[in-house]
A = this chain, B = another copy of it.
């Protein structure tokens, strides 16, 4: 069983993982971050040691959890000494094999958006697990199951597709929210007036397929409204581009016309 962890990273994912592992009774032996103060802050929250030097990594942990940003994982791996414990990264997109200099390696990917300031219920977060050996998979699965009710074995190809799909339900809707906020600001309206609609749009997905839930002028082929909306967007070329692309795609999908 995995009972001691060295955590590499001090960002949003690292912080939430450290808190969750600590709360579940795991010993966080050490927190590494190239930024000494960041390492110290997170170490302070989890009663562990801090280091900003990979050469000083504790050699005897059961698990080395690499939760640095995607493009830094390779560099961290290169500088790490070979270790006996399991080594896993938390990335949705990075190949598991980037860790193949170790004997037991895998992926421990929490599919959620994390901000340091916001509480997230880890028990609801799906964990995607992969491992180079049956034993690695099992141990990582077991560890994730202690944190969350939703743990899945997902091979790299599927995990990457999932990571891509996550962009479509997280980053891109967020960009649309920003567009709406811009339109409201222009008329001195508060963004909060849209919150019930925004929340209900997401909540509906618990019961309906996205295809069933699709509504709006393009779905109804309501040409008057489409025209009126386009006119309102004259001074917003970027929003107009989004409006036209989406309306065209929705029209084509549901009415089979161009």
* Residues of chain A at the chain B interface (Cβ within 8 Å): 69-71, 93, 111-113, 115, 117-118, 120, 124-126, 150, 152, 154, 157-158, 160-181, 183-184, 186-187, 189, 191, 193-211, 213-220, 222, 224-225, 228-229, 232-233, 238-239, 241-243, 245-246, 249-250
A125 to B199, CA, bound (A): 11
Interchain nearest-CB distance for A222 vs B (Å): 6
Residues of B within 8 Å of A154, CB to CB, are 189
Residues of B within 8 Å of A162, CB to CB, are 184, 187, 189, 193-194
Q: Contacts A112-B196, A183-B164, A187-B158 given: A171-B214 contact, CB under 8 Å?
A: yes
Contact of A196 among B126, B199, B246 (CB under 8 A): B126
User: Is the pair A111, B180 in contact by a Cβ cutoff of 8 Å?
Assistant: no
User: Is the pair B229, A167 in contact by a Cβ cutoff of 8 Å?
Assistant: yes
Shortest 6 CB-CB distances between A and B: which pairs?
Answer: A171-B216, A202-B202, A178-B210, A177-B210, A165-B180, A168-B180
Residues of B within 8 Å of A150, CB to CB, are 193, 196
A71 to B170, CA, bound (A): 33
Q: Contacts A172-B246, A232-B160, A250-B175 given: A181-B194 contact, CB under 8 Å?
A: no
Interchain nearest-CB distance for A214 vs B (Å): 5
User: Is the pair B196, A177 in contact by a Cβ cutoff of 8 Å?
Assistant: no
Interchain nearest-CB distance for A196 vs B (Å): 5
Residues of B within 8 Å of A213, CB to CB, are 115, 174, 177
User: Is the pair A206, B210 in contact by a Cβ cutoff of 8 Å?
Assistant: no
Contact of A161 among B187, B206, B224, B243 (CB under 8 A): B187
